[in-house]
Structure 1
Amino acid sequence: MDGENKWHKAETPAIHAAGLDLGYRSAQGLNLLASGISFDLQQGELTCLMGPNGVGKSTLLKAIMDQHPPIKGAVFLGKENVRQISDKERAKKVAVVLTEKIPSGAMTVLELVALGRVPHTGWWGRLSPHDQSVVNKVMDMTNIRDLAGKKLAALSDGQRQTALIARALAQDSPILILDEPTAHLDLTNRFEIMYLLRDLAKKAAKAILVVTHDLEVAMETADKLWIMEAHKPLLTGSPEDLMIQGGIQNLLPGNKWQIDAASGKIRLKDPARLPQIDGPAHLSHWIRNAFRKNRELAQPERIVVSEQPFSILLDFADQKEEVNSIAEMIGFLRLRAKKNNSNTSR
């Protein structure tokens, strides 16, 4: 699926690849993970790469960073083949934040961020006034200037992740690649980090690629999604288009799970039969959610849910029962199902 349109400005992508085959060669032969992989990573956009484990996401990142060349095809940074760029020059073009162990707790935030200038100064180089200016600028951009003297060991997980992003930004590279940057963060920090990255893509005109399994945050923040499936071409497009057109469902092989088209959240598929539910849409949604999780419940012919005051009328052919909470509804329907099963077994 092509996420571009006729109004997209023609420009050289930050990263371009067409027809990549990814995999490994061994004594047993070729282990092909992915084939026909094509993409353009654009400046000013936050792109999320998603897919099940084992489909080749890490191998794709290694191909971009020239750590594991593709079996077929080539990756271009701008107009240059990544294989023809020196390590030093590549570090100036691509900054990477991997799922890495944080350096020694004795290091301060300022010292960590300053390491981002190594491609420009060398390991033994001192920071010039320009280098110091860049470090100060990215610490302001990421709102961690007040943490400059703090030891890494004293930071929260969210603060450490932000400091690592600041270190990558200090490389002053047009491309930023992050592998699972929100994996160990709480709900609020997951959104904070991803909105920070989105803001950086827009304000600093960077091309940002994030590998993530966090669909909820990706739907909320990404400009583009790349969906990777085993042995299939990359599916690309805006999150909204992929949701509306159904491509997002490719993240969930099998018949057990589905992605709710309204909320973008993963949930169990609906039971084969659900009762008719009348009432406000937001209340009906949670009644259906309860039935998805509790498939053993007795099924009324009809349910009427009211908002003020909250009540649930359970309408059976032989009985009507009014309850005042979903927990009470579940308890009643579970008990009725047990009685029905007991009567049937006699």
Structure 2
Amino acid sequence: MLQANHLSIGYSKKDSPTPVAEGLSFSLQKGKLTCLLGPNGVGKSTLIKTILGQLPLLSGNLSLENKAIASFSQKELAKKIAVVLTDKVNSGNLTVYQLVSLGRIPHTGWLGNLSSQDKEIVERAIQVTKIQYIRDKSLSEISDGQLQKVMIARALCQDGEILILDEPTAHLDLVNRYEIMHLLREIAIQENKAVLVVTHDLDIAIDTADVFWLMQCGFPLVHGSPEDLILEGKINLMLPDEKLVFDPENGKVQESRNWNSPLISGDPVKVKWVQNALKKSGIDFSNSQIQLSIQQNPFQIEYTNEPEKLTFISIEQLVSHLANRTVSKR
């Protein structure tokens, strides 16, 4: 599909090229959702522009279907690679159907006369993205989450093998972020597309992606399944600040400082969230004899710190009590 070997990307000036990232090697495969992650300024957008033929590569090889990207015209690339950017759509007078059908322009030209086959492709894109119920609405009448699905449908109408999305979940609420990423996974698998998503949404990316590409300043691109990268510790390459670390046990990014928990007994799920609240509060129990016992039906936390014994009916109440005590703070 799409393949790069020792790729150097950046901006070409008259005097000398300005590389943004070097030594990039990767392969984008059909039927898989790939997520590109890395800090701001590392070159993710530059890489996308290079793949789209908008920037010349500085060195190395970048090929599509065993043919150099540079040998494709923009019209040819538009038939093979569809892209959804973060730019705001201002065509409020268009209907959803009209915007989706614009995805056929690389095949029909700007006159946009749709053949019966074109119309079938438009209908298929609307069906795949599950937006039949808003097909006749104007763009000004739909939500941001719905609009993102419409933009994905338009990209599908280009009928290319590759779909690239630049931060498609930015500015969306939690439910829509999950819906969009799971939709993209369905598209990759069911429509056999190579889907590349630039994202900072690590939690959702871990849940949905088949492959991670990790970009980091001054180092080659690292790729692999999210699970392999987590177990190998390579996921921390996207966290250049040593204050943060990815905890493979709970699947979250957290502060790398050591923290001592008090002795807590009870249901493991409730113990986990009590510990979460205590750690977040900054309370350190390294020199404490406090013991906590979590009871159920009704929920309560029995607190023992001889000779003191107390009962709390919420985690908030417990944390408030401890915060007012003389317990060592970080």
Secondary structure, counterpart of 1:22 in structure 2? strand
Q: Hey, what's the Cα distance between the residues in 2 that align with 1:175 and 1:139?
A: 18
Residue from 276, 279, 283 that aligns with 2:266:
279
Q: Is the 8 A contact 2:7 2:23 kept in 1?
A: yes
Residue from 304, 311, 316 that aligns with 1:315:
304
Q: RMSD between aligned alpha carbons?
A: 2.0
Q: Is the 8 A contact 2:261 2:284 kept in 1?
A: no
2:143 equivalent in structure 1: 156
Deviation track 1:137-190 (CA, whole Å, cap 9, x = no partner) reads: 111111112222110010011110000000000000010000000111111111
Which residue identity lines up with residue 68 of structure 1 in the other structure? Answer: L
Q: Does 1:54 align with 2:41?
A: yes
Q: Is the 8 A contact 2:37 2:200 kept in 1?
A: yes
Q: Hey, what's the Cα distance between the residues in 2 that align with 1:47 and 1:122?
A: 31
TM-score, structure 1 normalization: 0.89
Q: Is the 8 A contact 2:12 2:56 kept in 1?
A: no
Q: Is the 8 A contact 2:99 2:154 kept in 1?
A: yes
- Aligned-residue offset at 1:281: 2.0
Q: Does 1:326 align with 2:320?
A: no
Residue from 21, 43, 53 that aligns with 1:34:
21
Deviation track 1:38-62 (CA, whole Å, cap 9, x = no partner) reads: 0000000000000100111011111
Give the alignment of 1:190-339 within 5 angstroms: 190-296=177-283, 300-308=288-296, 309-316=298-305, 319-337=308-326
Q: Name which of structure 1's ranges 314-323 and 18-27 shifts more when overlaid on structure 2.
A: 314-323
Aligned residues: 327
Residue from 62, 66, 74 that aligns with 1:87:
74
Q: Name which of structure 1's ranges 245-254 and 302-311 shifts more when overlaid on structure 2.
A: 302-311
- Aligned-residue offset at 1:103: 3.3
Deviation track 1:118-137 (CA, whole Å, cap 9, x = no partner) reads: 00011014111111111111
- Aligned-residue offset at 1:267: 2.8
- Aligned-residue offset at 1:315: 3.4
Q: Hey, what's the Cα distance between the residues in 2 that align with 1:263 and 1:100?
A: 35
1:5 equivalent in structure 2: none
2:118 equivalent in structure 1: 131
For structure 2, the residue ranges without an aligned partner over 5 or more in a row are none
Q: Hey, what's the Cα distance between the residues in 1 that align with 2:141 and 2:256?
A: 43
Deviation track 1:214-244 (CA, whole Å, cap 9, x = no partner) reads: 0111011111111111111111111111112
Q: Hey, what's the Cα distance between the residues in 2 that align with 1:79 and 1:298?
A: 60
Q: Closer, same or farther in 2 for the Cα pair 1:319/1:28, shift >3 Å?
A: farther
TM-score, structure 2 normalization: 0.93
Which residue identity lines up with residue 143 of structure 1 in the other structure? Answer: K
Q: Closer, same or farther in 2 for the Cα pair 1:47/1:287, shift >3 Å?
A: same
Q: Is the 8 A contact 2:34 2:213 kept in 1?
A: yes
Q: Is the 8 A contact 1:297 1:330 kept in 2?
A: no
Which residue identity lines up with residue 85 of structure 1 in the other structure? Answer: F
Which residue identity lines up with residue 227 of structure 1 in the other structure? Answer: L
Q: Hey, what's the Cα distance between the residues in 2 that align with 1:278 and 1:125?
A: 67
Q: Name which of structure 1's ranges 304-313 and 14-23 shifts more when overlaid on structure 2.
A: 304-313
Which residue identity lines up with residue 128 of structure 2 in the other structure? Answer: M
Q: Hey, what's the Cα distance between the residues in 2 that align with 1:28 and 1:289?
A: 55
Secondary structure, counterpart of 2:310 in structure 1? strand
Q: Closer, same or farther in 2 for the Cα pair 1:148/1:97, shift >3 Å?
A: same
- Aligned-residue offset at 1:326: 1.2
Q: Hey, what's the Cα distance between the residues in 2 that align with 1:45 and 1:296?
A: 44
Which residue identity lines up with residue 178 of structure 1 in the other structure? Answer: L
Q: Name which of structure 1's ranges 26-35 and 153-162 shifts more when overlaid on structure 2.
A: 26-35
Secondary structure, counterpart of 1:124 in structure 2? coil
Which residue identity lines up with residue 337 of structure 1 in the other structure? Answer: T
- Aligned-residue offset at 1:29: 5.2
Q: Hey, what's the Cα distance between the residues in 2 that align with 1:155 and 1:304?
A: 50
Q: Name which of structure 1's ranges 306-315 and 97-106 shifts more when overlaid on structure 2.
A: 306-315
Q: Is the 8 A contact 1:194 1:217 kept in 2?
A: yes
- Aligned-residue offset at 1:30: 4.7
Q: Is the 8 A contact 1:22 1:71 kept in 2?
A: yes
Q: Hey, what's the Cα distance between the residues in 2 that align with 1:256 and 1:315?
A: 33
Q: Is the 8 A contact 1:297 1:337 kept in 2?
A: no
